[in-house]
Amino acid sequence: MIRAQNLTKVFGELKAVNDVSFTVPQGEIFAFLGPNGAGKTTTIKMLTTLLRPTSGKVEIDGIDPTVHQNEARQRFGIVFQDPSLDGELTAWENMDLHGALYKVPRHIRHERSETLLKLFELWERRNDPVKQFSGGMKRRLEIARGLLHTPKIIFLDEPTLGLDPQTRNQLWTHVKALNQTEGVTVFLTTHYMEEADRVAQRIAIIDHGRIVAQGTPQQLKQQTETETLEEAFLKLTGSTIRDEDASAADRMRNMARLWQGRR
Amino acid sequence: MTAIYILWLRQLKRYVRSRSRIVASLGQPLLFLVALGFGFGPIFQRAGQGNYIQFLAPGVIGMTVLFTSVFSGVELIWDRQFGFLKETLVAPVPRILIMIGRTLGGATVAIIQGFIVLAICMAAGFRPSAIGGLPAAIGFMALIAILFTALGTAVASALDDFQGFQLVMNFLVMPIFFLSGALFPLMGLPKALSIVASIDPLSYGVDGLRAALIGLSHFGSAVDLAVLAVLSAILLAIGGYMFARIQL
């Protein structure tokens, strides 16, 4: 369903993703783990047509997204690390807009919007502007929106970042249910090792742009002779804290926090 | 077409729901009208040029449409980094359609702003010479709006930094406005200034508005229309190309 072959992305002198290869079969929950700056988000962006690879091949459901972009985009939904909702619009309007962009017929997208908003416990707030939502509610709405066009694949880029344990638990319960009942392939990144251990069927660990290990959580623990996935992760990537320069995106996020305040 | 419509509608909803933005954006035109219109009015009259408010109003309307249009590009940078733009860029819609939807939405907002300022000008004493000129005035507002929204989009597509955008816009937008004849007649200018004004796109927009609203034109309405139409098409093409190449 998802295939990356010798995928590389170079920014100037920096090789953000270096010769990465993996395959995710249909119906699998696949986790992509790595420290800050390892190349996780860059990899997702190449898979989802937001970045052009420097070299290598990508396939989404048999389609090359670098050549047939719109066809590939129809196949997946994505929940970004940073919110991508329009805060001035209501939950319902965000859903409706997404459905229109994905060419879901009006009566079908209204039916599905209602079903998904009820599933993610947002139906009562459907007519409220999203800027009034908590972080957890926004995440739930993003996932609901990402599923509106019934994609075969869903990309989740750090979907539980900043959420409380109850909301995180609820999110993963929904995601696992979707995987089991509808066979949706899930590609996720997360910093929370216990989540990856609980949810993912296979894991790839990336560091400095390269995949350092791949396998089931159990295989990774056996390979590193550790008890927990976190220990395996630290053994494979080291325990040095990674410093990163603030990107333009980070600077603008900080500006947004000053102007808008946290919700 | 659905994508264009839904993105156009989104821009309108955002504008209508942002009352503080609407009020704040009227500050500058009001200031120009009051300070310059009434301040320079007697001098303009003594110079034999007539009522300055009548002359100034189309320029202030042009200024409003210009600034509103260009600064719709600021929204693109904001969206680009951590907002709605990602959602549209991964949608299975050709990027040119997304750009057109956003541009038309931004242009519509600019035209609405232009109308509000026209109402303010009329409250300040401005009187169009004929009500039949209003459709032509709307047409010129639309062309100014499309041209400069496309310009804002093109510039914002090339930048990922809010401060960079501000720098470019202040070195581009302010000269465009001040050298366009919005505040002074283009007749009898020094040659250098006359040349600069003749290559400034807003000169033709303001001239077209003046022709439609008070029957006064420097270049002629047909020339104004042709120049604006061609430049709008070129900038839409450039803006579309730049937008399509955005990588996040």
Residue bearing the bigger pLDDT, A244 or A123: A123
Would the pLDDT of B82 be above 80? Answer: no
Q: Do B18 and A85 touch (CB under 8 A)?
A: no
In sequence order, what are the residues at sequence separation of 6 or more whose Cβ sits closer than 8 angstroms to the Cβ of residue B141? B61, B65, B110, B111, B114, B115, B209
In sequence order, what are the residues at sequence separation of 6 or more whose Cβ sits closer than 8 angstroms to the Cβ of residue B227? B201, B204, B219
Q: What local confidence, expressed as pLDDT, does residue A205 receive?
A: 92
Contact B239, B151 (CB under 8 A): yes
**Facing B3 at nearest CB: one of A52, A101, A256:** A101
Query: B226-240, pLDDT tens digit by residue?
Result: 999 999 999 999 999
Compute the average pLDDT of residues A91-110: 95
As a whole number of angstroms, the distance between CA A171 and CA A191 comes to: 15
Q: In a mutagenesis test of the A interface, which of B87, B88, B162 is the best target, namely the one with the most A β-carbons within 10 Å?
A: B87
Contact B233, B222 (CB under 8 A): no
Would the pLDDT of B10 be above 80? Answer: yes
In this structure, of A147-151, B74-78, B94-98, the range with the lowest mean pLDDT score is B74-78
The verdict on B2 touching A (C-beta cutoff 8 Å) is yes
Q: Two tokens at B125?
A: 């004493």
> Could you state, in order of their start, the residue ranges of all structural domains in chain A?
2-75+151-260
As a whole number of angstroms, the distance between CA A101 and CA A84 comes to: 14
Rg (CA), chain A: 18
In degrees rounded to 5, what are phi and psi of residue B123?
A: -65, -30
Contact B8, B104 (CB under 8 A): yes
Q: What local confidence, expressed as pLDDT, does residue A251 receive?
A: 55
In sequence order, what are the residues at sequence separation of 6 or more whose Cβ sits closer than 8 angstroms to the Cβ of residue B119? none
Q: Choose among B80, B109, B83, B137: nearest CA to B21.
A: B109
Apex A64 CA angle, A147 and B88, nearest 5: 45
Q: Kindly indicate the confidence band of residue A263, based on its pLDDT and cuts at 50, 70 and 90.
A: very low
The verdict on A66 touching B (C-beta cutoff 8 Å) is no
Q: Do B87 and A83 touch (CB under 8 A)?
A: no
The verdict on A78 touching B (C-beta cutoff 8 Å) is yes
- Which chain A residue is nearest to residue B18, measuring alpha carbons? A88
Q: In a mutagenesis test of the B interface, which of A70, A81, A84 is the best target, namely the one with the most B β-carbons within 10 Å?
A: A84
Q: In a mutagenesis test of the B interface, which of A97, A128, A158, A251 is the best target, namely the one with the most B β-carbons within 10 Å?
A: A97
Contact A133, A263 (CB under 8 A): yes
In this structure, of A104-108, A252-256, B129-133, B193-197, the range with the lowest mean pLDDT score is A252-256
As a whole number of angstroms, the distance between CA A212 and CA A236 comes to: 7
Average pLDDT in chain A: 87
Q: Kindly indicate the confidence band of residue A130, based on its pLDDT and cuts at 50, 70 and 90.
A: very high
The verdict on A86 touching B (C-beta cutoff 8 Å) is yes
Q: What local confidence, expressed as pLDDT, does residue A178 receive?
A: 84
In angstroms, what separates the C-alpha of A246 from chain B's closest C-alpha?
13
Query: A236-256, pLDDT tens digit by residue?
Result: 887 655 555 455 555 555 555
Compute the average pLDDT of residues B140-162: 89
Residues from chain B contacting residue A253 (CB–CB below 8 Å): 81-82
Please report the number of interchain residue pairs, chain A to chain B, with beta-carbon separation below 8 angstroms.
Answer: 85
Q: Do B161 and A48 touch (CB under 8 A)?
A: no
Contact B161, A248 (CB under 8 A): yes
As a whole number of angstroms, the distance between CA B95 and CA B4 comes to: 10
Q: Two tokens at B215?
A: 């029957």
- Which chain A residue is nearest to residue B80, measuring alpha carbons? A249
As a whole number of angstroms, the distance between CA A40 and CA A211 comes to: 10
Q: Do A89 and B89 touch (CB under 8 A)?
A: no
| A2-75+151-260 fold | Rossmann fold (3.40.50)
Q: Do B87 and A84 touch (CB under 8 A)?
A: yes
Residue bearing the bigger pLDDT, B4 or B187: B4
Q: Do B91 and A82 touch (CB under 8 A)?
A: no
- Which chain A residue is nearest to residue B3, measuring alpha carbons? A101
Q: Two tokens at A122?
A: 């947002």
The verdict on A63 touching B (C-beta cutoff 8 Å) is no
**Facing B10 at nearest CB: one of A48, A71, A86:** A86
In sequence order, what are the residues at sequence separation of 6 or more whose Cβ sits closer than 8 angstroms to the Cβ of residue A45? A51, B248
DSSP for B6-61, written as a single string: HHHHHHHHHHHT-HHHHHHTTHHHHHIIIIIIIHSHHHHHHTT---HHHHHHHHHH
Compute the average pLDDT of residues A163-189: 87
> Could you state, in order of their start, the residue ranges of all structural domains in chain B?
2-244
Query: A199-241, pLDDT tens digit by residue?
Result: 999 999 998 899 999 999 999 999 889 988 888 888 888 765 5
Q: Two tokens at B172?
A: 């581009």
As a whole number of angstroms, the distance between CA B210 and CA B212 comes to: 5
Q: In a mutagenesis test of the B interface, which of A42, A48, A252 is the best target, namely the one with the most B β-carbons within 10 Å?
A: A252
Contact B43, B92 (CB under 8 A): no
Q: Do A86 and B92 touch (CB under 8 A)?
A: no
As a whole number of angstroms, the distance between CA B206 and CA B212 comes to: 10
Contact B53, B125 (CB under 8 A): yes
Q: Kindly indicate the confidence band of residue B131, based on its pLDDT and cuts at 50, 70 and 90.
A: confident
- Which chain B residue is nearest to residue A105, measuring alpha carbons? B2
Would the pLDDT of A105 be above 60? Answer: yes
Would the pLDDT of B158 be above 50? Answer: yes
- Which chain A residue is nearest to residue B161, measuring alpha carbons? A248
